[in-house]
Homo-oligomer: A and B are copies of this chain.
């Protein structure tokens, strides 16, 4: 484990739940909200609060979770599901390494905690020199949640709904499942937890009793963000989290001056950044860390993922993945930029065009029904209809290089590797297998022959026309 500092801050994320009620083969915390696994929301909120030193408690079936965290993240495996307290016990080595510090313990399936809440709770936790600071929220309907019983500044108990009497059920301040602990207190308290209850489980909330018994301070930080308590246990709950997250992103976009015609079917990643005066149609999907400049128009059916789009760009019912698009470019309808496509400003990509792992120079036009793969194309080129870069010969992938101001005729095949110089021209219907010098014409096709009356005879006699 690197990056750990004795006495510093760390986070312990509980992620051993399975997806049984989700009916998913994936670990529950990998269920996605706005295309982002729930646990990645937690990971990022902790990072935003300045806590990069993280430990994740996973189940034996949760190995897939490791791939979502950076090198150096600690993992502990909980072999049996014996409660939240038991889960934290599995991370004892991590806690020992952080003795003297404070650790944030939180659930991997409650994605709406936020960095500000984490920080504010820490401020309170340290100022009050608390052993435990529980993060709480006041909600209208607390049914089902653990109630926060306060005694002046102290939290005297967290009472589960099932165990609560009427007086306690009337309390609207509830446990969010997120806690700051003094690490040293937590290690000691874990050793004192019992499992003498109906389920035979160790509950993390029982640390409050330990603290109370020991006269240690337990504080509550009540967040203004009520959504922090929300988690998902089944597909219905997950759908609700998605709906809430969508609305929150929309609010942010509208405040930022983004033009939304209707939010129906619109899904925008929480990590996307969109400049003012850009219009998103309904049904647009923006995934991942996409950035979109100002004055763009993105129409229905477009899907943009982890890409950087300039200003005044039009994306018309097209898909863009891990690519960059320069200012003023126009794309679509019905086109695709596959990963590592880089379009300079002013490029025009028309309909039924695929670009893959290629750079396209300024103001080049690829208007229709073409495929450009593994190629470097210059500025101001014109691609006719039906151009194909034959970048794969069945064994190897090769690159094409095309200079500036080239003209590629319709249904040209460019058999990679091949280079075209500046101002080169290929005749329609040519298959180009050798380099074409600048300003030269390359032609590779047969001359036209006309057979008079052939067609009339064919229709009459039904000969085979193509042989």
Most buried by B among A350, A386, A434, A459: A386
A422 to chain B minimum Cβ distance, whole angstroms, is 10
A230 → B minimal CB distance (Å)? 17
A440 in the interface (beta carbon within 8 A): yes
Q: Which residues of B contact A300 (CB under 8 A)?
A: 265, 283, 285, 301, 303
With known contacts A334-B336, A350-B354, A352-B334, A386–B388 Cβ distance under 8 A: yes
Interface class of chain A by DSSP:
loop
In the complex, the answer to whether A368 meets B371 with C-beta atoms within 8 Å is yes
Is B446 within 8 A of A451, CB to CB? no
| CA distance in complex: A373, B360 (Å) | 24
Q: Which of A5-13, A19-27, A98-106, A160-168 contacts B (4 or more CB under 8 A)?
A: A19-27
Does A264 sit at the interface, judged by CB under 8 A? yes
Are A441 and B450 touching (Cβ within 8 A)?
yes
In the bound complex, how far is the Cα of B409 from the Cα of A319, in angstroms?
26
Q: Which A94-112 residues sit within 8 Å CB-CB of chain B? A: none
Which residue in B285, B446, B448 is a CB contact (below 8 Å) of A434? B448
Contact between chains at B441 and A444 (CB < 8 Å): no
**What residues on B are CB-neighbors of A1 within 8 Å?**
none
Structural contact, B303 and A299, CB atoms closer than 8 A: yes
Copies in the complex: 3
Interface membership of A442, Cβ < 8 A:
yes
Binary CB contact string for chain A from 291 to 310 against chain B (1 if under 8 A, 0 otherwise) = 00011000111010000000
Is B428 a contact of A429 with CB atoms below 8 Å? no
C-alpha gap A447/B443 in the complex (Å): 8
Query: Which residues of the partner chain B approach A423 to less than 8 Å between Cβ atoms?
Result: 455-456, 459
CB distance from A384 to the nearest CB of B (A): 6
- With A334-B336, A456-B423, A465-B393 known as contacts, the answer to whether A443 contacts B449 (CB < 8 A) is yes
* Contact partner, A382, options B242, B392, B454, Cβ 8 Å: B392
Shortest Cβ distance from A20 into B: residue: B257
Q: Give residues 24-83 of A contacting B (CB, 8 Å).
A: 24-26, 31, 35
* A439 contact set on B, CB distance < 8 A: 452-456
CB pair B277–A261 under 8 Å, yes or no, is no
Q: Which residues of B contact A257 (CB under 8 A)?
A: 22-24, 235
A392 neighbours in B (Cβ, 8 Å): 382, 384
Cβ contact of A267, chosen from B261, B263, B352, cutoff 8 A: B261
Contact of A466 among B23, B35, B265, B409 (CB under 8 A): B409
Q: Does A427 contact B (CB under 8 A)?
A: yes
Q: Is A4 an interface residue (CB 8 A)?
A: no
Option from B242, B254, B385, B390 in Cβ contact (under 8 Å) with A428: B390
Question: What residues of chain B lie closer than 8 Å to A350, measured between beta carbons?
Answer: 354
Beyond A301-B301, A413-B411, A459-B423, whether A437 also contacts B450 by CB under 8 A is yes
- Decide if A262 touches B283 in the complex (CB within 8 Å): no
Q: How far is the CA of A436 from the CA of B454 in the complex (A)?
A: 11
Determine if B444 and A447 form an interchain contact, defined as CB atoms under 8 angstroms apart: yes
Among candidates B25, B236, B425, residue contacting A465 with C-beta atoms closer than 8 Å: B425
Q: Which of B246, B390, B434, B467 contacts A384 (CB 8 A)?
A: B390
A242: nearest chain-B partner, CB-CB:
B261
- In A134-148, the 8 Å CB interface with B consists of none
Shortest Cβ-Cβ A-B pairs, 4 listed: A23-B257, A429-B431, A441-B454, A23-B276
18 A-B interface contacts by CB (under 8 A): A235-B254, A235-B257, A261-B267, A264-B265, A267-B282, A283-B283, A285-B299, A334-B352, A369-B369, A384-B388, A394-B459, A427-B431, A429-B429, A431-B448, A440-B454, A441-B455, A442-B448, A443-B449
* Known interface pairs A385-B390, A444-B448; 19 further A-B residue pairs with C-beta atoms within 8 A, sorted by A's residue number: A23-B276, A264-B264, A265-B265, A265-B300, A285-B299, A299-B303, A300-B303, A354-B369, A369-B388, A384-B388, A388-B410, A390-B466, A410-B413, A415-B466, A423-B456, A424-B455, A427-B466, A431-B448, A431-B466
